[in-house]
Amino acid sequence: MEAQIITIGDEILIGQIVDTNSAWLGNQLSLLGIHVQKIISISDSEEAINLALEEGLEQADLLILTGGLGPTKDDITKKTIAKFLKRQLYFDQGLYDKLSKYFEMRGFPITDALKEQCWMPTSTKILENKMGTAPGMLFDHDGKYVLSMPGVPYEMKWIFDNSFKPELNKINQSSQTIYHRTIRTVGIGETTIAEKIADITEQFQEDISVAFLPSLGHVKLRLTRKSKENDHSIVDQHIEKLSHRLKEYIYGYDKITLEDAIKRDFTAKQLTISCAESCTGGFLSHRLTSIPGSSAFFEGGVVTYSYEMKKDLLGVNADTLKNKGAVSEEVVLEMLSGLLKMSKSDIGVSISGIAGPGGGTKDKPVGTIWMAWGDKENQKTKKLQLGKDRLKNIEYTAVTAMNQLRLFIKN
């Protein structure tokens, strides 16, 4: 099955919001064995929607549209699709009763806009939306399909996963399957990985491809096999070989995040952690607490941005700050020592640096960042020399710190 993804909204075209829907949908369709041949963003206009529908139905089997299904006058997607496909609109009393009950339970007023939203095209499969008021719609047009969903990401994802997939199983007769496996690495670059595994990837059969997906501090290595067979053991065998070659850099597979890996490793050894941050401003603590169940291993964090806070909260010596400066190995070690005394955590990590874009000196240019980590008996330090992009420096530092924590308890 061939598909196209069409996102509708002027706010996307002018850069007011980022189109994350297309990336998510592309990944989901790929996993389902559906080839995405085109992704486009268009304006909220009847002309643009008509053109996308006309061209899309000539080229693809499935068109997926997101956006323009709200109750306001500028949301014209539903009416435009209905007109293009020559469908009449009818008032769906069942949908109105359901939405009215929802509004009454929450004390929301029932407006004319709500009634307007309940006019639906005839001969259309209405797809339930438990995350919002606008349902999805699936149109069958001469054996080709148009799926229209709200543009709100969490609504779109719920409809796709819960209401559309069962319908897709009925209409997608493709016998080809696509199987993905992903190795997640940290602390090693894309080029180095490619060199380390070149002899293995050169032996891959034609229906297996490898992709390197780098981000700040990470590289994901994805293997994909497109085949009519359901036996994917050959991919798993290659994953095993690659894992043996890259094992020191691997923190997990498929959908696991570095934060998940930290939680897994720390809880397995019943260890706790605390953070003392300066230039990262609590970003490392945020990353560690962004996952459910983080209270099992994370005790807390302090942001000691000023000299006074470093001295008062963590007991950093005034002479050390004066003679070595806040961005120094000596200071992060004293921050770590004070943190471990204050928090009673098994392991701590401290960070101090110049995130930028200003504030650097000749001896300590922008991007100079020191970190320390360890327990009361064994403490380690690392100096990073990064660039001038403040946010990238903060993110890269947090990733590096998590990797050092991972390696510390592993070894």
**CATH number of the domain to which 341 belongs:** 3.90.950.20
Q: How far apart are CA 377 and CA 185, in angstroms?
A: 29
For 38, the domain range is: 2-171
- Which position has the higher pLDDT, 127 or 174? 127
188 backbone dihedrals φ, ψ, rounded to 5°: -145, 145
pLDDT confidence of residue 39 = 97
Q: What is the pLDDT of residues 394-407, one digit of tens each?
A: 999 999 999 999 99
CB contact at 8 A, 147 and 126: no
- Do 243 and 392 fall into the same domain? no
Residues in the chain: 411
> Is residue 296 over pLDDT 90?
yes
Mean pLDDT, rounded, for 196-214: 93
- Do 276 and 204 fall into the same domain? no
- Do 228 and 286 fall into the same domain? no
Mean pLDDT, rounded, for 294-299: 97
- Do 246 and 281 fall into the same domain? no
- Do 18 and 99 fall into the same domain? yes
- Do 147 and 279 fall into the same domain? no
Using CB atoms within 10 A of its CB, is residue 323 exposed (0-12), middle (13-18) or buried (19+)?
Answer: exposed
- Do 15 and 157 fall into the same domain? yes
- Give the CATH number for residue 188: 3.30.70.2860
Angle, vertex CA 322, rays to CA 319 and CA 325, nearest 5: 120
Mean pLDDT, rounded, for 348-360: 96
Please provide the distance, in angstroms rounded to a whole number, between the alpha carbons at the two ends of the chain.
48
- Do 26 and 113 fall into the same domain? yes
CB contact at 8 A, 304 and 278: yes
- Do 52 and 195 fall into the same domain? no
- Do 110 and 226 fall into the same domain? no
pLDDT confidence of residue 176 = 64
Q: How far apart are CA 45 and CA 146, in angstroms?
A: 18
pLDDT confidence of residue 160 = 96
* Domain boundary pick from 150, 171, 192: 171
What is the count of structural domains for the chain?
3
Using CB atoms within 10 A of its CB, is residue 112 exposed (0-12), middle (13-18) or buried (19+)?
Answer: exposed
Q: Which amino acid is at 114?
A: L
- Do 155 and 296 fall into the same domain? no
Distance, CA of 343 to chain centre = 31
Q: Does residue 4 sit in helix, strand or coil? A: strand
* Domain boundary pick from 219, 253, 287: 253
Residue 376: DSSP 8-state = S
Distance, CA of 6 to chain centre = 21
Q: How far apart are CA 118 and CA 115, in angstroms?
A: 5
Instruction: Report the phi/psi class of residue 76: left, alpha or beta, with left for phi > 0 and alpha for psi in -120 to 50.
Output: alpha
> Is residue 409 over pLDDT 70?
yes
> Is residue 345 over pLDDT 60?
yes
pLDDT confidence of residue 350 = 98
CB neighbours (10 Å) of residue 80?
A: 22
> Is residue 175 over pLDDT 60?
no
* Domain boundary pick from 119, 149, 171: 171
Q: How far apart are CA 119 and CA 89, in angstroms?
A: 6
Q: What is the pLDDT of residues 312-336, one digit of tens each?
A: 999 999 999 999 999 999 999 999 9
In percent, the amount of the chain with pLDDT more than 70 equals: 98
Q: What is the pLDDT of residues 60-96, one digit of tens each?
A: 999 999 998 866 666 789 999 999 999 999 999 998 9
Q: Find, among 385, 381, 390, the residue nearest to 357 by Cα.
A: 390
Q: Which residues pair with 236 in a beta bridge?
A: none
Q: Which amino acid is at 357?
A: P
Tell me the whole-structure pTM to 2 decimals: 0.76
CB contact at 8 A, 268 and 196: no
Cis previous bond, 365, omega within 30: no
Helix or strand run (H / E) with residue 137? strand 136-141
DSSP 79-133: HHHHHHTT--EEE-HHHHHHHHHHHHHTT----HHHHHHTEEESS-EEE--TTSS
- Do 86 and 211 fall into the same domain? no
pLDDT confidence of residue 36 = 94
Q: How far apart are CA 128 and CA 164, in angstroms?
A: 9
